[in-house]
Structure 1
């Protein structure tokens, strides 16, 4: 390599100097004296909890703050040119061209009345020109690279015709199509299946390596940082409290807060409740739930065809055990959970709970079992009545108790708040006044109100901050130990599976492909699909060991 090329690699591509941001009415800065540099061919991970200033930083770098926010100090330089000093025309050429932002909530970012392919073409031609035909070919090619099957057909689809994960990949393709100098990925893979997440991150990192781009990956997932980033910056309350090489950070953070985040992100081995169908006493454990040949079809409107969402699924669960259902979006996991709590009517099959056939019961008969069978929903904010305070939300399920089981409602609500580690002051709060983690805890408290024997947890740790995720895992484990709770844990968070589940069922296209004890499945999966799925896990411990051996992640393995 020539001295000139080497010097270019070392010269920062993006320089952030003492950047501060203030929002009207806020009692403290959203960003407070933030400084860092980003070199070509470098991936910087920025990690922090909700409210730390990560997303504000991404928008400040593009000079794209909302009207009530303003940059009060500092500067942002791209190739030694001040972004904050650019006029409107220069900013239009910059955004989406030299500097691209990949955000979350893709469907809100896409134009609902234009095909996604046309939207990508429009971005490409705005920054590079060229014919529509050539731009269309490049757009279709990029859709394929971000993991979209049949990209030619999908390019002609409208946003409402795509799943949330597929729409997110379209937004990523739109950002990458112009080969920008710097890519800002703000939780860009949030909610994607693990395999697709790895494909997209591999693509992003490979493009940076090949083209000498810089990338900033903003995330709350330290596993992503550990496996894909060169440097890491830890943010808290608008400040960068620690920044440095990822390997050094994994070996020993310098700040107490950073150490807390790293510890919270590590796998907590599942407590041994039952490695085999026998309890530790050696006595065969009683089966609480038995699912046999469960089938759920959804008719396709206007045709005689059906979607086989659940296709001949069988499994059983003993008292005190947790079974994880893992698999990509659309594999049938949530449908199974909703069938078990009778939110959906099954097409065929048998579900036996404590010896009773749930499928053949009338709604009145099932009501007697509903207090023993509960569900924690994936999106608690959607599931919680926005007009009810926490006390009413948690207290409502107590109506399922019989006269002989009646309890002091206010006292039981206080007990449940304590059980899920929520302060008593939140009893009068409404859902919109709670954080995502607090909403999840209220959902868990609702499910536990009637002291159930079995709970379906649908993605209980998805999209939570690092420490909140660890707290939810610890909470569920403690409740299981104290109450002898049986649980079906539906998730695509493989790190959480190893921390919570005793057994794992791997699902694909409505079928269970592989089943076994968690340790066995992770150590020696038998099915190729299971192997592919587990390769997409991003455990910090594995990354740390690889870095200590001087190895790098093998990108492209999931394509």
Structure 2
């Protein structure tokens, strides 16, 4: 190996950032290096400083931010003190940043081909025609079908996964030496996430580039990275080879993150006893038969069959996980169950009563027993109300409760979801994402329901918060004996929570069975594809072999 290849490509030494005199350091003494053909993972919870670090490497600090110490060197040359022209060459040319929410990063008024071509022309001397051809060629390389036609599309005409591929193409079109991927797959379906990460790593290996993958998902690190840096409160508290970290983290914080990321086999299976022979045909609490929901397509005679002849049941005290990619119809099913949407066919029977034939006023009494925890609690929580009022609102369904009884129940619920009593006076914007989720759960449990729909309760949460929410739901089900529909694309959560799994695709249930059976012996190719996209940290030992194979082959395994 040449001396050039052994020298660090990127060096960060004692980097510190604050936001003005007297403020705490947002980044403190950050030190690490990145080699060619190396994938470094940077992991930490919200507020750890990961995204600020990524922008610091491009000298793109937010307003008020300033460097107070340290240095950043690219191939041995400092990036501090260089003129504006040299900065432009570095940004997007030698160092590329890939962010999350691709559609927000793309201009809505220009075709994606033009946007990729513009990046190339900003850093390379070429004609419009040459830049356009390079953009189309690269779109093909990142796996976009019919790239000539797609290059003429606008961002809103692309799926989330396809838009993210466009952002990757924009980053890679200049053949950068360093790629910074800042939560670049956040919010994508598991199968799309794996495709995007495979593509990103493969492209970096082909170019001999170094990559920094910034994430809160240790599963991504375990499967794609060579080394990992653990960040906490603006510092790197641990830096190690991925295999060594997965085997034995040196710091307690790293161990806590790793423990939270591991699948915890649900103990609920043992708590829900196998039914005796005479109870095998017990009437389920919820029985859904041939459910149908149709949405018209504006301006056409066509319709979308969001739910297409779906049938399933849930026993008392049981959790059914409904899994599938975005657009499969999962959330629409949940909304039909709680009558936020009216179905267009089929039946929903709850405790032997057909709720689809009820009027809105008749269903109001039933609503106390069927509740829903929404995917985005901040959107579902009135920003003008404190937590006390938000949790108390569902209690209005019980006219027998007086003011004192409502206040007692609110205190009980806040304690039940493991929140401090003082939070009752806080407003939604003052809460963390995990606290907002807990308030949403408290609201849903206020009326002591028999059945709860949990719609993506762990999506986009930090590792430890996600584990806490899973543990909370498990404990609540054990304590209250409630039944649940768990809507998610987080397969690790499914294994920790659900007794049975139903897999949805294009509005239909394509496979259903006991959780362990689905995970160990899935029948359908679609289910197998979902399971193959799972990135559990438990595969640490095997992953060390995969990383070495990738390094030797020069492509993503």
**TM interval, short-chain normalised:** over 0.9
Where do 5+ consecutive residues of structure 2 fail to align?
none
Alignment map for 1:73-472 (pairs within 5 Å): 73-146=69-142, 148=144, 150-273=146-269, 278-279=274-275, 283-284=279-280, 285-403=282-400, 408-472=405-469
1:17/1:75 contact within 8 Å kept = yes
Distance in 2 separating the partners of 1:324 and 1:142: 39
How has the CA–CA distance of structure 1 residues 453 and 136 changed in structure 2, closer, same or farther, with 3 Å as cutoff?
A: farther
Using the TM superposition, give the Cα deviation of residue 165 of structure 1 relative to its aligned residue in structure 2, in angstroms.
4.3
Displacement of 1:182: 0.5
Say whether 1:533 aligns with 2:530.
yes
8 Å Cα contact 2:268-2:497 kept in structure 1: no
Worse overlay, 57-66 or 151-160: 151-160
Relative to structure 1, is the Cα distance of residues 326 and 26 closer, same or farther in structure 2, using a 3 angstrom cutoff? farther
Alignment TM-score, normalising by the size of structure 2 = 0.94
- Give the corresponding residue for 1:521: 518
Moved more, 338-347 or 260-269: 338-347
Shift of 1:340: 1.0
Q: Distance in 2 between matches of 1:410 and 1:151?
A: 60
CA RMSD of aligned residues (A): 2.4
Counterpart-to-counterpart distance in 2, 1:392 and 1:150? 53
Kindly indicate whether the alpha-carbon contact (under 8 Å) linking 1:227 and 1:553 is maintained by their aligned counterparts in 2: no
**CA apart distance, 1:120:** 1.4
Q: Secondary structure at the match of 1:316?
A: strand
The structural deviation recorded for 1:160 is 3.4
Once structures 1 and 2 are overlaid, which stretch shifts more, 540-549 or 310-319?
Answer: 540-549
Q: CA deviation at 1:152?
A: 3.9
Task: Note if contact 2:271-2:478 (Cα within 8 Å) is conserved in structure 1.
Answer: no
CA contact (8 A) 2:205 2:556 kept: no
Q: Per-residue CA shift, 1:421-450, capped at 9, x if unaligned?
A: 111111111111111111111111111111
Q: 1:297 to 1:549 in 2, by over 3 A?
A: closer
In 2, the alpha carbon distance for the partners of 1:163 and 1:157 equals 11
Most deviating of 100-109 and 391-400: 100-109
Structure 1, 345-354 or 471-480: larger mean CA deviation: 345-354
Q: Is residue 22 of structure 1 aligned with residue 18 of structure 2?
A: yes
Moved more, 151-160 or 381-390: 151-160
- Spell out, residue by residue over 1:280-306, the C-alpha distance to the aligned partner (whole angstroms, 9 max, x if none): 798335411111111111101111100
1:135 & 1:494 partners in 2: Cα distance?
A: 41
CA contact (8 A) 1:116 1:157 kept: yes
> Is the CA contact (8 Å cut-off) linking 1:226 and 1:544 kept in structure 2?
no
Greater mean deviation of Cα atoms: 268-277 or 472-481: 268-277
Residues 265 and 540, structure 1, Cα contact 8 Å, conserved in 2: yes
CA distance in 2, matches of 1:317, 1:116: 45
Output the TM-score relative to the length of structure 1. 0.94
Shift of the alpha carbon at 1:135? Answer: 2.9
**Distance in 2 of aligned mates of 1:117 and 1:442:** 44
* Alignment size in residue pairs: 555
Distance 1:421 1:12, change over 3 A: same
DSSP-derived class of the 2:180 partner: strand
CA distance in 1, matches of 2:434, 2:64: 27
| CA separation of 1:350 and 1:427: change in aligned 2, threshold 3 A | same
- Name the stretch that deviates more: 186-195 or 382-391: 382-391
d(CA) in 2 for partners of 1:138, 1:509: 35
Question: Once structures 1 and 2 are overlaid, which stretch shifts more, 72-81 or 153-162?
Answer: 153-162
Task: Indicate how the Cα distance of structure 1 residues 549 and 82 shifts in structure 2: closer, same or farther if over 3 A, else same.
Answer: closer
1:9 has 2:8 as partner = no
How far off its partner does 1:9 sit? 2.6
Distance 1:449 1:26 in 2: 44
- Shift of the alpha carbon at 1:406? 8.7
* C-alpha distance 451-275 of structure 1, shift in aligned 2 (>3 A): closer
Measure, in 2, the Cα distance between the counterparts of 1:556 and 1:510.
40
Deviation at 1:24, TM superposition (A): 3.2
Structure 2: how far apart are the matches of 1:179 and 1:468? 37
Do 1:532 and 1:558's aligned partners in 2 also have CA atoms closer than 8 Å? no
